[in-house]
Amino acid sequence: MLLSVPGKGVDATIVMGVNEGTYDPEHDHVVSNASCTANCVAPVVKVVDEHFGLVKGLMTTIHGYTDDQVVLDGPHKDLRRGRSAAVNIIPTSTGAARAVGLVLPELSGTLDGIAVRVPVEDGSLTDLSAVLDRPVTADEVNAAFREAADGPLKGVLRVSHAPIVSRDIVGDPASCVLDAPLTQAHGELVKVFGWYDNEWGYTNRLLDLTEYGAARLPYA
């Protein structure tokens, strides 16, 4: 069974391009494809950690409103999220940073984050600030992402050098579109931004994981 949401008590949480190699068809019968935000930020974290060593980090997802929000102010267990989605910028929680620890267990506990829901129907952005093992430059960081996008993360990660906004990535099949001009570095501190179509990009990874898992079943 493949879940298109983060799951509790699942056998495995898989993010394509990050940890699909850990899938075990003999034991992983209920598999989560994590969330759209986790699918965006996990490849970013993987690249940063593999090239520079990630000590700790904080992420923010600036996310289009979702179906659990309301058009008019109303009751909700999260009082902020109960405010009108169409006219407010709404800070709320996200499990995406913690989910990175499920797919990259060596980084468990090193990341945390929040979500900020904004009045757009689709097209979201992750902002990751991380402390690294060594000083870096923005050019070094962008070069690492270009290498990954042309190699092991091809199709999952794309690097853009254009002055894009959220509408420009709607319909993009990548899990993450790294915005190279926005990359900043200050010694061991780095900030990177990744755009994602939180509907279409995630759907593409769901299909990829379906095909990947099906091809490895004993009766495939």
**Model pLDDT, residue 7:** 86
Residue 171 backbone zone (phi > 0: left; psi -120 to 50: alpha; other: beta): left
40 is catalytic: no
**Model pLDDT, residue 220:** 56
Task: Collect all residues with Cβ–Cβ distance below 8 Å to 37 and sequence separation of at least 6.
Answer: 61, 63, 94, 96, 115, 124, 126, 196, 198
Q: Say if residue 219's pLDDT is above 80.
A: no
Tokens of 91: 């800070």
CA atoms within 13 A on the CB side of 197: 17
Exposure letters 142-168 (e unless 16+ CB within 10 A, then b): bebbbebbeeebeebbbbbeeebebee
Rounded Cα distance between 58 and 13, Å, is 21
Return the percentage of the chain with pLDDT > 70, whole number: 100
pLDDT digits (tens, 9 = 90+) for 157-183: 999 999 999 999 999 999 999 999 999
For the chain, the average pLDDT equals 96
Rounded Cα distance between 49 and 63, Å, is 24
- What is the assigned CATH class of domain 35-201? alpha beta
Catalytic hit among 14, 31, 36, 125: 36
Whether the predicted model's global pTM rises above the 0.75 cut:
yes
Across 97-115, average pLDDT: 95
pLDDT digits (tens, 9 = 90+) for 9-59: 999 999 999 999 999 999 999 999 999 999 999 999 999 999 999 999 999
**Model pLDDT, residue 58:** 98
- C-beta of residue 117 within 8 angstroms of C-beta of residue 89: yes
Return the percentage of the chain with pLDDT > 90, whole number: 93
Pairing of strands 111-118, 90-92: antiparallel
Helix (H) or strand (E) holding 206: helix 200-214
